[in-house]
Amino acid sequence: MKKFAYFPGCSLEKIALSYNKTSVETSKILGVELQELEDWNCCGATTYFHVDQLLAYTLTARNLAMAEKEGLDLVAPCSACYKNAYTTNKYFKADPDVAEHINYALEEDDLQFNGDINVHHIMDIYVNEVGVDAIKEKVKVPLEGLKVAPYYGCQIVRPRKNGEDVENPQFFEDLVKAMGAEAVDFAERLRCCGGSLIMTSRTAALDMVRVLLKNAVDSGADVIATACPLCQVNLECYQLQVNEEFGTDFNMPVTYFTQLLGLALGMPKKKLGIGSELVSAAPIFGEF
């Protein structure tokens, strides 16, 4: 069984609790052991970087150091947490001066980081460690006929991590197909949902959400699948505001990919966290 240090991040404690639960459960079914990182701290989202870059790297490095102490690679389900942890790890390894400053500060918490671990998004673990074919074999309830818009968003693919294809990735589509569902041709799948602009520049963010919802409807999707709590909240919880602002009538369910995966893997429906959405996904899940 593959084992990882699990860093759920602040959003998964409550707003995205269904993502947390279904990540843990689907991992179990797929033979991946997630050991929650003890006493983890917030990754800083984008805001540490608005105040101080070294502070941002240091606080993220605290989580990395704790994972390293356990001898485990770090895995995060939130794309923003993943991106921060990944880039901190990368800059730490590339710049001995940054590394020295970080370790000087971490001494105060009796920690030291050596840069000996790797950082993964949970979807990366499923696609590249478990493998799409192995997942396909474990599917008990193929999601036949379900049209899924695979929404990558930003930080799971950008900035580029390690030479991978950032213009035409296919791993999300591959995963959707492994569940027995159809991955629709969703042209705007890599376009930003607005992220924290929903708080700071409301109209701009609602417009960004509108573009994505329209494209998902036009592509014939029954549901949008996401791999990030920011994307999920913006696309789902702010649909009513989008409808008010632009006179649209969107009613598009937006779920975490792990909820769909859980359904396909035969998890009991009541454990999938369905029912906590503002735009109901119950009709979709009721079909299987």
Partner 1 sequence: MAAKPTFSQEISNLLYASQGSPLKNCIQCGTCSGTCPVVNYMDQTPRRLIGMINANLKEDVLDCNTYWFCASCYHCTVRCPAKIDIAEAMYAVKRYSIWHKTYSEDLVGPTFSETFVKTIINNGRSFEPVLAPTYMFSMGIKEVLQEAYMGTQMMLKGRMPVLPTKIKRLDNFKKVIRRIIPMGGEK
User: Sign of dihedral through CA atoms 48, 86, 224, 271?
Assistant: negative
Shortest separation between residue 28's beta carbon and partner 1, angstroms: 23
C-beta closer to partner 1: residue 30 or 152: 152
Interface contacts to partner 1, rule CB under 8 A: 10-11, 13-17, 39-42, 44-55, 57-59, 62, 91, 94-95, 98, 101, 104-110, 154-155, 158-160, 166-167, 190-192, 194-197, 199-205, 207-208, 211, 237-238, 241, 275-278
SS3 223: strand
- Give the relative orientation of helices 96-106 and 79-94 as an angle to the nearest 10 degrees: 110
The torsion angle over the Cα atoms of residues 81, 86, 88 and 92, rounded to 10 degrees, is 160
Shortest separation between residue 124's beta carbon and partner 1, angstroms: 17
C-beta closer to partner 1: residue 13 or 33: 13
Shortest separation between residue 254's beta carbon and partner 1, angstroms: 14
C-beta closer to partner 1: residue 2 or 191: 191
Shortest separation between residue 35's beta carbon and partner 1, angstroms: 17
User: Sign of dihedral through CA atoms 81, 231, 186, 284?
Assistant: positive
Shortest separation between residue 108's beta carbon and partner 1, angstroms: 4
C-beta closer to partner 1: residue 15 or 132: 15
Position 48, amino acid? Y
Position 113, amino acid? F
H or E segment to which residue 183 belongs:
strand 182-183
The torsion angle over the Cα atoms of residues 41, 270, 131 and 181, rounded to 10 degrees, is -130
C-beta closer to partner 1: residue 175 or 193: 193
Position 267, amino acid? M
